[in-house]
Amino acid sequence: MVKFKEVKAKTVLNKYRYRDNSFWCRYGINPYRGCQFACNYCDAITEKYLIHENVEDFSRVIYVKTNAPELLEKELKKAEKDVVALSGVTDPYQPAERKYEIMRNVLEVLKDNGFPVHIGTKSDLVLRDIDILSEISTNSWCALSFTVTTFDKNLLSLLEPFSPPPERRLEAVKKLREAGIMAGVDFTPIIPYLLDDDNNIREVIRKASENGAEYLLPGVGMTLRNNQKTRWFELLKENWPELIEKYEKLYGESQEPNREYVVEINRKTFEVCKELNIKTYTPPPDFERPLKENFQVANLLLLIAYFKERRTGNPYAAWAYHKAAQNIEELEESIRDIHNENELEKISGVGKNLAEIIKEFLDTGKCEKIERLKTEW
Ligand code: SF4
């Protein structure tokens, strides 16, 4: 029996230090804490995110921030317009949303204030709000990423026992795309030895493509941290004891699988996406904001970083690009003026190589490097 605890949050809009180059968000909102979908691989039960005293309560006690819309209305008055991730931690369209409609009201507020959004969910309940999403998409920017990891019913009953079936999520992708709203598939996590075989990878990508997904985000190696690791190993012990040794080898003392493995999975997903003509990244956001060209240049660098990270399996492989992008975003003058003065290398974090990339982009509107990264492994 699930209990709902209505709470009055003190703050609701969390600002991230750096822009994420997968969801492109700079803010996150969590209307709910705890998640009724109770996926057995969930990383929201790790200490980093958990607010429940007892990990077992994560899916049984759902905290509902009933004042989120009013609070957000106030907080947005002081915030710069930027992409808001919904949600940062748990699924915003879990069953509680049917009753409380916090997401619907939060989206209304974001729409009225012109804020772009990127929603991540496993639920087609999001279609209820297609009217608001359509307005956000037209007037600002909107992306919806539906997690799909497999269609194997036996595996799903153990991995994601309470989520809507993946077929319904893909139908939602199709409907959103038909309504002109950007939607794609988040293939996360690609679980080692259960979901990483060629057939599963191909099936997820093929079905995403058949349903009109604009992009597919390949999961970059399942993390295994404290509570999450304990739960996962319990599941392995009960159902796939023969995999325990393989996991111990693959992870060692780390919270992530070894890099060679991650790169190989990334390469496989990249090749199938290329064959089926589906993007492996979320197209960068496009919405009205001051110094928009600076923002476009910053996003170009972040997208290059995204591909480098996937090719190396190292989330820090392109940190210089992240820092330079952030510095460019924070400039108070136009990067084109700086370029015209021949002073790009005076921007903090922009060396000779990055300056060349920026120059090419500002002079031609293109970037050869990014075109190559999009199409070649
Ligand atoms: S839907 Fe997401 S947040 Fe909810 S239990 Fe599953 S993995 Fe965790």
Provide the sign of the torsion angle of the four alpha carbons 117, 90, 154, 240, taken in this order: positive
Atom in ligand 1 nearest the alpha carbon of residue 35: 4
| Helical packing angle, 292-312 and 259-275, nearest 10° | 120
Indicate where the chain has its CATH 1.10.150.110 domain(s): 292-375
Ligand 1 midpoint to CA 37 (Å): 6
Best mutation site among 91, 148, 195 for ligand 1 pocket (most ligand atoms within 8 Å of CB): 91
Closest-CA residue, ligand 1 atom 3, reads 90
User: Identity (one letter) of the amino acid at 188?
Assistant: T
pLDDT along the chain (377 residues), means of 10: 95 95 97 96 87 89 97 97 94 97 98 98 98 98 98 98 98 98 97 97 98 94 93 98 98 95 96 97 97 98 97 92 97 98 98 98 97 96
Fold of 3-275: TIM Barrel (3.20.20)
Do 148 and 169 touch, CB atoms closer than 8 A?
Answer: yes
Q: What share of the chain is helix, strand, coil (3-state, %, to 5)?
A: 50, 10, 40
Count CB neighbours of 298 within 10 A. 25
What residues flank ligand 1, with Cβ below 6 Å?
35, 37-39, 42, 44, 90-91, 122
Backbone phi, psi, residue 185, to 5°: -120, 135
Atom in ligand 1 nearest the alpha carbon of residue 45: 8
Fold of 292-375: DNA polymerase; domain 1 (1.10.150)
Ligand 1 midpoint to CA 122 (Å): 8
Q: 142 pairs with which residues across the strands?
A: 117
pLDDT of residue 46: 86
Ligand 1 midpoint to CA 376 (Å): 33
Ligand 1 midpoint to CA 201 (Å): 21
| DSSP sequence for 168-183 | HHHHHHHHHHHTT-EE
**Overall pTM surpassing 0.85 (yes/no):** yes
Report pLDDT digits (tens) over 88-135. Answer: 799 999 999 999 999 999 999 999 999 999 999 999 999 999 999 999
Closest-CA residue, ligand 1 atom 8, reads 42
Question: Following CA atoms 242, 247, 252, 258 in sequence, which dihedral angle do they give, to the nearest 10 degrees?
Answer: 140
Atom in ligand 1 nearest the alpha carbon of residue 41: 7
Ligand 1 midpoint to CA 57 (Å): 14
pLDDT of residue 189: 96
- Indicate the length of the chain as a whole number: 377
Q: Where are the beta strands (DSSP E) in the chain?
A: 3-7, 14-15, 27-29, 32-33, 61-65, 84-86, 117-121, 142-147, 182-187, 216-218
Short-list 109, 129, 111, CA closest to 175: 129
pLDDT of residue 271: 97
Report pLDDT digits (tens) over 269-305. Answer: 999 999 999 999 999 999 999 999 999 999 999 999 9
User: Identity (one letter) of the amino acid at 363?
Assistant: D
Indicate where the chain has its CATH 3.20.20.70 domain(s): 3-275
Ligand 1 midpoint to CA 158 (Å): 13
Do 171 and 211 touch, CB atoms closer than 8 A?
Answer: yes
Ligand 1 midpoint to CA 243 (Å): 23
pLDDT of residue 83: 98
Short-list 119, 62, 66, 121, CA closest to 91: 121
pLDDT of residue 313: 92
Q: Which residues make Cβ contacts (< 8 Å) with residue 370, sequence separation at least 6? A: 300, 303, 304, 307
Closest-CA residue, ligand 1 atom 7, reads 42
